[in-house]
Amino acid sequence: MNQMQRLLEIMAQLRDPETGCPWDRQQTFRTILPYTLEESYEVADAIERDDMADLKEELGDLLFQIVFYTQMAKEAGEFTFDDVVATVSDKLVARHPHVFGDAEIRTAEAQSQAWEQHKAKERVAKAQDQQRLPSVLDNIPVTLPALARAAKLQRRAARVGFDWPAIYPVLDKIEEEVAELREALAQGSHHEEMEHEVGDLMFACVNLARFASVDTELALRGVNRRFETRFRRVEALAHEHGEVLSELPLAQMDRYWEQAKREEVLAKAKKTAAEGEE
């Protein structure tokens, strides 16, 4: 028995109505969804930490989620694990005619264009099946993290020419949104208006990131990591001086913050120098 078949049989046994696990038996597609999202982020975390042992385990956990869904679908008479594998296999073959057919695609950029053209045809066909007007924005999941979905909406619109001509007008747009936010603050606008203005500013920042070829999620994860590291150092510095952080004036906290940043720069410089000597 291969390991994939073993996993499928373990899942079927866990869901057995008579001898299975009570918790596994009572799960549904909706109740499992939060675990799937969590496992996806844990895979990303392992990759960012370059922890291959952890990545192996997290990929297994994510695979288990897929097996869980397919077992429930099989029980409902909807589809099986083999159906899922066949669907993705057919899709990959159809989207890579230069590998599995006679088409010639010589660069990664050309392949990306061909991939998008094929997906566009799939979206049109799906819209026709559903008897509705196709949109370039079709099939962008509403459950995507908001920043990732904003970037995807912008990229799709850009494909039909609905885009800024260059990065500098995007910077102008950000300044415009900041001015509108300042005005809303000055007028004491209610929460809904503030939410609207902040949202516009964030959407414009996503446009800036897109033009700069920066992944918004990775950028935010990076700044979160830097903030956490520096703030923990601020806490440590306060403790080293026998101080209670919450009782310090902001000016002192700022001095510790700047010290944490200097230490970070020095540590990075030492690491670079050491790598250069190797």
Predicted local confidence at residue 274, as pLDDT: 77
Residue 265, token pair as written in the block: 């720069």
Q: How far apart are CA 222 and CA 64, in angstroms?
A: 29
Q: Taking the domains of the chain in order of start, what are their residue ranges?
A: 3-95, 98-129, 146-214, 217-277
Residues 6+ apart with CB under 8 A from 7: 63, 64, 67
Residue 3, token pair as written in the block: 């390991």
Q: Half-sphere exposure of 74 toward its Cβ, with a 13 Å CA cutoff?
A: 17
pTM above 0.75, yes or no: no
Q: How far apart are CA 115 and CA 229, in angstroms?
A: 40
Q: Which CATH architecture has domain 146-214?
A: Orthogonal Bundle (1.10)
pLDDT tens profile 166-177? 999 999 999 999
In degrees rounded to 5, what are phi and psi of residue 9? -70, -35
pLDDT tens profile 64-117? 999 999 999 999 999 999 999 999 999 888 888 888 877 777 777 767 676 667
DSSP labels, 156-169 = HHHHTT-S-SSHHH
Q: Is 234 helix (H, G, I), strand (E, B) or coil?
A: helix
Q: Which CATH architecture has domain 3-95?
A: Orthogonal Bundle (1.10)
* Confidence tier at 273 by pLDDT (50, 70, 90): confident
Please determine whether the domains at 3-95 and 146-214 fall in the same fold group of CATH: yes
Predicted local confidence at residue 207, as pLDDT: 96
